[in-house]
Structure 1
Amino acid sequence: MSSGLHETAIDEIVARCNGDIRGALKALLLVNEQLEAEVAQLQAAVAHGRMTGPNRNLLH
């Protein structure tokens, strides 16, 4: 992502939180936690051989 796209994304996230920077950070942290949990589940599935076939490398 280029710097301009980062700035736009940041502006959009803050705007969605009504200008509340702390709210925007909290929202991003929550999304990050969800993504980390999904990665952990996928890693566990791969480690236990439950992900096989042509789609085994897809996250979604």
Structure 2
Amino acid sequence: MTPRPTDTLIDEIIATCNGDLRGALKALLMVNEQLEAELQQLYAASPQFASVRPGNNVLH
């Protein structure tokens, strides 16, 4: 059975953090926060999305 792409990606992220699962999760949360901030900036700059505001579906 071949590993799924998601499993391979997870393994790569953990390996990047020297096998530290907590470190890998922390890094992913930090990236997620940055992406959420960028998304908020894009929504703020686009009047057509004035009624669409993410926030209720945040995982942290």
The number of equivalent residue pairs is 46
Displacement, 1:47? 2.2
Q: TM-score, normalized by length of structure 2?
A: 0.72
Stretches of structure 1 lacking an aligned partner (at least 5 in a row)? 49-60
Q: TM-score, normalized by length of structure 1?
A: 0.72
Structure 2: how far apart are the matches of 1:14 and 1:31? 15
Structure 1: how far apart are the matches of 2:42 and 2:5? 29
Stretches of structure 2 lacking an aligned partner (at least 5 in a row)? 49-60
Superposition RMSD on alpha carbons, in Å? Answer: 1.5
* 4+ runs deviating over 4 angstroms: none
% identical aligned pairs: 65
